[in-house]
Amino acid sequence: MTLRRPVIGLPTQTLHSIDGIPPALPESWVMNQRYFFATTVVGGVPWMIPLLEEDSATLREIYQRLDGILLPGGVDLDPRSYGEERHPRLGAVDQARDRVEMQLVRWAVEDLKPVLGLCRGAQIINVALGGTLYQDLEAQFPGALKHDYFPTAGFSRDYPAHEVTIAPGSRLLAVMERPRFMVNSMHHQGIRALAEGLVPSAVAPDGLIEGVEGPGEHFLIGVQWHPEMFEVVDPRTRQLFREFIVAAQDWRARAGPAQ
């Protein structure tokens, strides 16, 4: 019997939260196509999630139809979501997206539904579960190496910025099958206080947490880099997405047709 392809939810971003978008453009929800391709190539069916922050009933109905959640990269998180005032170096934020994604993470943790967070997505997982962030690494993290290799500064999205070291015994190591490798880096925020219940699974040379995961069998993984840029050329990176899809398929098989 052929198993049904799992449905993977990908939250969107408010168009006008992106720097440089003319205010005259109509209000829209958008997301980079690369995340959708990375989902479909390993067998997932992507579902674009609108930012219905004020319609929790409809958002819940969407969530219940999902087998897994992929949290993409994007703009900075609003520090008020973890009890801090805005730092002068904070960039654009998307409050609607913050609230929707954190709600999705909390529901998924309750239901043990698989979650994979990429860059901002790893930060969302941490904040949703009670952690905090550095609003700007250069200003707030002594000894920080350069993490902000942004395309807007002339760097390619797959630029090998720095190495990460993967924690022994972690789920991430079991998937990637190598203790150290180079990653791209397109962020200026990072995990500060790790949320209770999360385990650090990868660190940068300066000590910044670059990977987190949940305990036990729940597939809850966040990485600070952008693996969607490597899954075509790196079999181990594609395996990260494949394991996520397998976990989503297994979750659906256990949950049955109705949650």
The residues assigned a catalytic role are 119, 226, 228
Residue with tokens 């995990």: 191
C-alpha to C-alpha distances, 26 to 7, 10, 15, 200, nearest whole angstrom: 29, 21, 9, 41
Using left for φ > 0, alpha for ψ between -120 and 50, and beta otherwise, residue 143 falls in: left
Q: Are 75 and 92 in contact (CB under 8 A)?
A: yes
From CA 173, how far away is CA 22, in angstroms rounded?
43
Burial class for 38, CB neighbours closer than 10 Å (0-12, 13-18, 19+): buried
Which residues have CB under 8 Å from 141's CB, separation 6+? 134, 190, 192, 206, 208
Q: Are 79 and 90 in contact (CB under 8 A)?
A: yes
Question: At what angle are helices 33-40 and 235-255 packed, to 10 degrees?
Answer: 70
